């Protein structure tokens, strides 16, 4: 039988926050079958690899996969292919989840928690669509080599094909149609060949199939500035793997805390989605029971919507999170003193 939800708690605060997802899932959708496997550094310690073949097979056989967080100082000297992060990259490519949806939503009760002025972030609902399985994260050649005359040389390669650009742009245009109908495409076409190709492919696709959607091309550095200057001008922003990594961290902070934001990574229709909070493993607070579980809980909300065919329950859960925040529920990252479990309790009480 197919598992509905595979939990990969991972490292650091990952197990603490995914435990709260399990509580919420059990309450809101008791019929879901849930399985759990070690991942990242925890998997390396127990099984010798950050992502085993069995775990990848289980991920591909589930309807949705929810990952907590990976990485930590313990594994920083491990060879690159054994590092927890390599497990995550292997999972993303192995599952073929090329489209990473990273919403930056400012919950009303948290508008004061942002480092930006309330009026700039209140009502913010902006979606970054990050290409997730290509670009400089995976391009060949890469490596560090010794130079004959002394010194070393590090190489990374940024590569994109028209196929990869077109399929991610399509996701962005489709999403925009169900939102405010605007797409901003961010690249560096002024200096990069891949950026130039990106702009051409997006322009052609827009003219061919999505002329009804408003399209703006924006250089990635300007995008970073505009995100902190006037984030509400954006609806959907589509960008490559590396720019998406950076711009989504900036966008996340607008909403008050990285501890609030979920993400969904989707592949071809009918294949399982991978859901992850945007935050990392936060080794500084791991084990203290004070991590904000809302990013993980909202990642489950996205799983209900995009993979588990229960948008109704997703709406219910989203509203419960908002009411918990309205009621004053705050972990330390939001300026309060609730524990992880108490924050989840506050959400459960609203379900």
**Which residues from 245-264 bind Mg ion, rule CB under 5 A?**
245
Residue 131 binds to ligand IPM (criterion: CB under 6 A): no
Q: Which residue is nearest to ligand IPM, using beta carbons?
A: 85
Side-chain-facing half-sphere of 342: CA atoms under 13 Å: 13
Task: Using the rule CB under 5 A, give the single segment among 106-114, 241-249, 265-273, 285-293 that binds Mg ion.
Answer: 241-249
Closest to Mg ion by CB, 235 vs 245, is 245
Q: b/e per residue, 323-336, with b = 16+ CB within 10 A?
A: bbbeeebbbbbbee
The answer to whether 320 and 347 have CB atoms below 8 angstroms apart is yes
CB 136 → ligand IPM: shortest distance, Å? 11
Q: Are 188 and 135 in contact (CB under 8 A)?
A: no
Based on CB atoms, which residue is closest to ligand IPM, 286 or 338?
A: 286
312 is catalytic: no
Closest separation between CB of residue 87 and ligand IPM, Å? 9
Q: How many CB atoms lie within 10 A of CB 209?
A: 14
Token duo for residue 181: 């109908």
52/255 with CB nearer Mg ion: 255
Interface with ligand IPM: number of residues (CB under 6 A): 4
By beta-carbon proximity to ligand IPM, the closer residue of 71 and 103 is: 71
Interacting partner of 213 out of ligand IPM, Mg ion, none (Cβ under 5 to 8 A depending on kind):
none
Give the active site residue among 11, 160, 188, 235.
Answer: 188
Q: If contact means CB under 5 to 8 A according to the sort of partner, which of Mg ion, ligand IPM, none does residue 88 touch?
A: ligand IPM
Determine if 88 is a binding residue for ligand IPM (CB under 6 A).
yes
Nearer to Mg ion, 129 or 213 (CB): 129
85 touches ligand IPM by CB under 6 A: yes
Query: Cβ neighbours of residue 234 under 8 Å, at least 6 residues apart?
Result: 126, 182, 184, 226, 227
Q: Which stretch binds Mg ion (CB under 5 A): 145-153, 155-163, 242-250, 304-312?
A: 242-250
Which of residues 85 and 125 has its CB atom nearest to ligand IPM in the complex?
Answer: 85
Q: Which of 4, 240, 245, 333 is catalytic?
A: 245
276 lines the binding site for Mg ion (CB under 5 A):
no
Interface pick for ligand IPM out of 4, 245, 301, 333 (rule CB under 6 A): 245
Question: What angle separates helix 294-306 from helix 340-348, to the nearest 10 degrees?
Answer: 40
Count of alpha carbons within 13 Å of 29, Cβ hemisphere only?
23
For residue 69, list its beta bridge partners.
10
In the 3-class helix/strand/coil scheme, how is 80-125 assigned residue by residue? HHHCHHHHHHHHHHHHCCCEEEEEEECCHHHHHHCCCCHHHHCCCE
Q: Shortest approach of ligand IPM to residue 89 CB, angstroms?
A: 6
Of 57, 47, 140, nearest in space to 91 by CA = 57
* Residue tagged active-site, from 125, 156, 209, 249: 249
Given 221, 288, 312, 315, the catalytic residue: 221
Task: Please say if 288 is a catalytic residue.
Answer: no
Using alpha carbons only, give the angle 262, 104, 23 rounded to the nearest 5 degrees: 25
DSSP string for residues in 329-346:
---GGGT----HHHHHHH
| 36-75 footprint of ligand IPM as x/- string (CB under 6 A) | -----------------------------------x----
Whether residue 210 lies in the annotated active site: no
Burial letters 8-20, b for 16+ CB under 10 A, else e:
bbbbbbbbbbbbb
For residue 211, give every residue at least 6 positions away whose Cβ sits within 8 Å of its Cβ, in sequence order, or none: none
345 forms part of the interface with ligand IPM (CB under 6 A) = no
Residues labelled catalytic? 137, 188, 221, 245, 249
- Chain residues binding ligand IPM by CB under 6 A are 71, 85, 88, 245
- Chain residues binding Mg ion by CB under 5 A are 245
């Amino acid at each position: 039988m197919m598992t509905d939800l595979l939990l990969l708690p991972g490292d650091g605060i990952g197990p603490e926050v995914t435990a709260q997802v399990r509580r919420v899932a059990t309450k809101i959708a008791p019929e879901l079958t849930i399985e759990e496997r070690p991942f990242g550094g925890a998997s390396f310690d127990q099984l010798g690899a950050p992502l085993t073949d069995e775990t990848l097979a289980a991920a591909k056989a589930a309807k949705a996969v929810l990952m907590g967080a990976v990485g930590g100082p313990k594994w920083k000297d491990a060879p690159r292919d054994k590092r927890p992060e390599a497990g995550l990259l292997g999972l993303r490519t192995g599952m073929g989840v090329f489209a990473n949806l990273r919403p930056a939503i400012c919950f009303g009760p948290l508008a004061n928690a942002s480092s930006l002025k309330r009026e700039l972030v209140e009502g913010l609902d902006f979606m970054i669509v990050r290409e997730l399985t290509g670009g400089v994260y995976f391009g060949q050649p890469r490596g560090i080599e010794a130079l004959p005359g002394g010194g070393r040389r590090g190489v990374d390669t940024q590569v994109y094909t028209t196929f990869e650009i077109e399929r991610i742009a399509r996701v962005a245009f489709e999403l925009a149609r169900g939102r405010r109908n605007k797409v901003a495409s961010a690249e560096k076409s002024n200096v990069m060949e891949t950026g130039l190709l990106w702009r051409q492919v997006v322009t052609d696709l827009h003219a061919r199939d999505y002329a009804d959607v408003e399209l703006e091309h924006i250089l990635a550095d300007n995008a970073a500035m505009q995100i902190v200057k006037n984030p509400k001008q954006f609806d959907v922003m589509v960008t490559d793997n590396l720019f998406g990594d950076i711009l989504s961290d900036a966008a996340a902070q607008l909403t008050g805390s990285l501890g609030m934001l979920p993400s969904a990574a989707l592949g071809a229709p009918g294949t399982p989605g991978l859901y992850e909070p945007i935050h990392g493993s936060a080794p500084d607070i791991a084990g203290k029971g004070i991590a904000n579980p809302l990013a993980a809980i909202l990642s489950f909300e996205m799983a209900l919507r995009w993979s588990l065919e229960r948008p109704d329950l997703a709406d219910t859960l989203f509203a419960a999170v908002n009411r918990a925040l309205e009621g004053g529920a705050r972990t330390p990252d939001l300026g309060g003193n609730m524990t992880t479990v108490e924050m989840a309790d506050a959400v459960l009480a609203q379900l």
